[in-house]
Structure 1
């Protein structure tokens, strides 16, 4: 069986490649492990809870309907950072395709975290589609405004934690020349650096990145992760480094920042506006592609 379901999770094994496996918690519909050709591709904190008691630290948490703290929108302003999708239990809809094995999860106000959904009184349906290929993983999101009268505004982000061997000799490429908002300095500028390097905390939102930009994580000249986006114009690059890691209770080991980098495609620098009855779709594809340097 390529699909195994338990009370808490769904495990997908590629039918032709048993060394390609993805594990998805129903809580948050969070992918917490993706093994490709026998090698784990995602970083997961050793202190993270997989029992549904709190959001997962690592893997691919889903950020909806707000990214940071929004103080302007009358509904989003009351929600905590990163919203409620990652700490709600999603409904498993089942398998939709045999090869590549593909499954879907759904979230609506009825399943959403009851303490948080009352702060955001919207009618919506989210459908997450996960497809496991031999050497790639695709996650697609569909957001539908099921209201008959009310416009819906939201952010979306795949908060993807990628595993690396040593962050200090690793860089992220193909973001040169992009407009970035540095969340630490709280300034916006055009990033002229050829690559993003890591020797201290990094927390940047690259805005309106052209879709043909293939973002790559590269170590010693070899691409170890390649990310392709669809309808996700922004990309957050984050590494918490020493001080931030030590202050997060669920971040373990404390030097785990050396083995991870977050490259997070999303729609976060402004809000998606969805009229009643409309649907918005987006996706990310993770794979290990050939080195492709895209200059300014």
Structure 2
């Protein structure tokens, strides 16, 4: 058979629209998932608007989720990305939030799914055609709260939480609005549990020469914040620290494993970074932490606005978020 040099190219087998991001809502309406045409995926539990899975195109899970995590709405999820609002930890000395449970009510309230939107590459070609990212929006207002939560925090508010899945990473952003006539204050944090292979080989850069509060050691002898050394942060015991990175939110915080970059985090209007790992003893004492040696395969690096309080007057809005880039 003679090979013709100008033979026609094969026709596309599926002419028409480029591939679209796929959205799925579970049968019991408890979770929402999205998959890009290239294979990246994210899954969000409506209880807490908690991200419980984020996978790359090869199906590799990027987040750590406890095998004993409660996903039925009976308690906040251990793992993934729980959302902290309107208080970080507990604040018995802050009258407005003194009656709230640890980390507030956002992570233990059922959110509404507001819908999805997609974006496409500006240069459509055979390799890039289709959705480059998908954004999932979730909402929370007093109408979603239990009577107990409304009584403990009786303010009018509106939250919109957006989770955007892209080919290279994941973006989470929060819009907070005061819908009432009375001013109120809040704190917020994105409590991200990153999955690693071996915590002993993990280091974190971007926190060098930065002030921090240490919840394990307690206040320093002078009462002033500690200052981190100029070296990367590594872990060999329980860590619970609140850093204010010297480089500001726009400076990336990098999680490395074995010296290689695994995740990069850039923050917007989130001035603090919490680093947490319970280590052996605390992991043993948590009923929803499994396996018990799971602390070896996770590290929490959490973008937040938790030092002091954000104040909103009537009608005012605050917005903050993070962009997480994952290395291949």
- Contact 1:214–1:227 (8 Å) recurs in 2: yes
Larger Rg: 2
- Contact 1:108–1:125 (8 Å) recurs in 2: yes
- Contact 1:87–1:113 (8 Å) recurs in 2: no
Question: Aligned-pair RMSD on alpha carbons?
Answer: 1.3
Render the CA deviation track for 1:178-234: whole Å, top value 9, x for unaligned: 100011111221111411111100110002650222001101110111111100000
Q: 2:151 aligns with which of 118, 122, 126?
A: 118
2:209 paired residue number: 177
SS of match in other structure, 2:98:
helix
Cα offset, 1:289, TM superposition: 5.2
Render the CA deviation track for 1:52-83: whole Å, top value 9, x for unaligned: 11111000000000002112222201111100
SS of match in other structure, 1:71:
coil
User: Which shifted more, 86-95 or 115-124?
Assistant: 115-124
Cα offset, 1:116, TM superposition: 1.9
CA distance in 2, matches of 1:114, 1:156: 22
Render the CA deviation track for 1:242-294: whole Å, top value 9, x for unaligned: 1110111000000000000000000011110111100000111111259xxxx
| Greater strand fraction, Structure 1 or Structure 2 | 1
2:272 paired residue number: 234
- Contact 2:250–2:268 (8 Å) recurs in 1: no
2:117 paired residue number: 96
* Structure 2 unaligned regions, length at least 5: 1-20, 120-130, 220-224
2:240 counterpart of 1:203: yes
Q: 1:143 aligns with which of 141, 153, 176?
A: 176
1:32 paired residue number: 52
1:13 paired residue number: 35
CA distance in 2, matches of 1:29, 1:134: 21
CA distance in 1, matches of 2:94, 2:199: 37
Render the CA deviation track for 1:74-123: whole Å, top value 9, x for unaligned: 22011111000000000111113353111100000110233222100010
- Contact 1:2–1:101 (8 Å) recurs in 2: no
CA distance in 1, matches of 2:269, 2:164: 18
- Contact 1:84–1:117 (8 Å) recurs in 2: no
User: Which shifted more, 267-276 or 190-199?
Assistant: 190-199
Task: Give the structure-1-normalised TM-score.
Answer: 0.94
CA distance in 2, matches of 1:235, 1:161: 13
Q: 2:91 aligns with which of 61, 70, 83?
A: 70
* Structure 1 unaligned regions, length at least 5: 291-296
SS of match in other structure, 1:17:
coil
2:228 counterpart of 1:191: yes
2:160 counterpart of 1:127: yes
User: Which shifted more, 55-64 or 32-41?
Assistant: 32-41
- Contact 1:144–1:279 (8 Å) recurs in 2: yes
